[in-house]
Structure 1
Amino acid sequence: MKNGQPITQKDFPQIEAAAKSFQLNQAIFDELNYYGEFGEVLGKHPKLWKLKLEQDVSLYDELEAFSRRATLRANISRDNKKLEKMKPGPGKDEFAKKIERYVLERDLIDSKFDFKRRKK
């Protein structure tokens, strides 16, 4: 890899780390450009999706919030059942993150609009 030498198996961890670093830097760059152009968070970078979600919820009126909350409750219930049946691995981890986002959005809506979840 260095000085014109061929790439070997031991070079792959460095290559992988460089690719991940590039992807992270690209995501940050995209966020900054989007913010500069539109004045709001894009929310694609892992550290900024919560901020984007908070901004989105702050824009809901009460009717939108009520409707979105019902959709989120249904999605959380459905997806938790799917998650239980999934085999461990990266796919299951990503799916769990999706549910986590639904739960956070529902909780943000509940706190902003003082909706109370029914207890069973």
Structure 2
Amino acid sequence: MISDFSRKQLGASILEVLISVALVSMLSLSLIQGGVYMQRESKRAEQSLLVLHHMENYLEYVRIMTITGSSIDPQWQGLEELGFDMTLSSNQQMSSLGVLGTKLEVTASWINPWGQPESAVLSTWVAFH
């Protein structure tokens, strides 16, 4: 027969095992959630950098067009596949030093893989044209 002391010890051992299993399970779930979060943020950063790269290229293209007054052939294949929209706004402005120039602003908007809208704006000033 099992003595009363053995039952208490057995009950305490089972309780310790259950608590340990619960803690290990919670830690495992936390690590999995952390990994998923890191993957998600990494994908978001990768997508944002790709959009910014294309925005910078487009801004340089427009600067060259503004300075030279002529059009060049852009070498961007696959912009449609990326799933973002770029818009350009330009206007003649006078600087604080009295120099007439053109302010160029490129705006991009896209939907990230989780369905949330994102956007970015790059602008520059072209004074020598």
Q: TM-score, normalised by structure 2?
A: 0.29
Largest Rg, 1 or 2:
2
Greater percentage in helix: 1
Greater percentage in strand: 2
